[in-house]
Structure 1
């Protein structure tokens, strides 16, 4: 059974998603198409793509070639051409490249919009929902800081259903003002880079021994090999957060699917222990967005 999270507009979004951000665009052989087909056949139920990734065409084609109906697969895309004059044409380009309406459309980050224009741009997206262009499509944002969220919420007729950003235990303290707004307004957090502590941190940091201990428990109880990455994905989902991760290797994609379909939830105590340890440090892998006019906490990167 695929885990899902309820959105404020009533839809249920798959809690674990595969990111198709690896397009090659090298002639007839596009790795993004190959990887997309592999992911779908491995059991992935949700794909995250974007205008910036240049993988929308491959994502739509992967569904066709893997013989999946669109209604069986959740698709998210994001736009980066955000000037008011081109918003409708840009949205129509997203639909054209995919070959269908996505389930969720995100503003990729607040800096693609001219200063002071976030509210105006959100209103234009709402208009496209109301005029039928984006009928049935959920709207959300990505990499939005507190001030960006407040700008949208000040005018919103349709509230953003998600905010996708770098999310893992080592950015929790920095993100707390953002998460407070999410909680107040029913905005679901989506995590990209959820495996950063395992894959990017120089030592693994203070949560490493906790993840290893839990992985050993789950391996023993389930009779399958469970690694620390799987535990971290279970923690993310256990926090009520959508986890967006990626791999281009079939074996690893199957392991991602296994997290959702074959592994039990972490205990409440395990979720809290990982969070408490994570909040003692600050380590961010994607640095270009979230610290601008939103200072990071004065915490060490490791203990």
Structure 2
């Protein structure tokens, strides 16, 4: 019930730990705390600069590890993944993503072809993308016949990405939410969120995470503090009713935090 199945038949935990802005020196402790609590999905990226620390944290565990190909390495994904694996201390990752389409470079289609080869070579068990729009997904699917297992996109109640989610559902792509709690705490102070939290005697963060899960999304909130890690994980046993979900659905403002994927 807490796993999602990819279009390649593999499974992934629905709730994971995001590690963006988590310093390499702090990553081992934060990751081990998360794993001790029951997390199994750990998300990192080459550009985060913490793959070595994440690798130390997951060492000897059964963690599902995701890392990502940065824009300046789209011309040589095999070498880039090799470097990531060396830092992580792994022979293969569970999921390797192209971090941004970076369409101005004109390399993401060839990079996707290389990821298909890396999956065939056993260096990554599944492959996907991050921040791709339907136009970018169309291009890589048409070029290779291979559909990404997952697309990790900015998604939170203020930016709900309904068009992209519908495309993913139609193509059997898992949608994974980054910055699922928004930014700066404004979303967690939103009156609708607070009201639902009070109704269930839960935290605002748990309500927002439970909203993602209610929509069948994978979600990777960032946390290092033990209390935040524990609080986020407890969202797995919170079930929102239809009224709660509809109220949060009504918060959509098309309010983006990160850059436009067409401009990266």
TM-score, normalised with respect to structure 2: 0.90
> 1:19 aligns to what?
18
> 2:175 aligns to what?
189
Q: CA deviation at 1:270?
A: 2.0
SS in 1 for 2:138: helix
> 2:58 aligns to what?
63
1:63-109 deviation per Cα after TM superposition (whole angstroms, max 9, x unaligned): 23xxx42xx2111111114333x221111112211112111111111
Whether 1:89 and 2:79 are equivalent positions in the alignment is yes
User: Which of 1 and 2 has greater Rg?
Assistant: 1
Could you tell me how far apart the structure 2 residues matched to 1:166 and 1:23 are? 18
Out of 27, 32, 56, the position equivalent to 1:32 is 27
SS in 2 for 1:180: helix
1:8-44 deviation per Cα after TM superposition (whole angstroms, max 9, x unaligned): 111221111111223435xxxx112222222222332
Structure 2, gaps ≥5 residues long: none
TM-score, normalised with respect to structure 1: 0.79
Out of 248, 253, 260, the position equivalent to 1:289 is 260
Whether 1:8 and 2:2 are equivalent positions in the alignment is no
Could you tell me how far apart the structure 2 residues matched to 1:89 and 1:291 are? 26
Q: CA deviation at 1:200?
A: 4.1
Could you tell me how far apart the structure 2 residues matched to 1:246 and 1:133 are? 26
Could you tell me how far apart the structure 2 residues matched to 1:18 and 1:148 are? 26
> 2:246 aligns to what?
272
Q: CA deviation at 1:273?
A: 2.5
Whether 1:244 and 2:230 are equivalent positions in the alignment is no
Equivalences for residues 169-188 of structure 1 within 5 A: 169-172=157-160, 175-188=161-174
- Structure 2 CA distance for partners of 1:21 and 1:129, relative to 1, 3 Å: same
Q: How many residues align?
A: 262
Structure 1 stretches of 4+ with a deviation exceeding 6 A read none
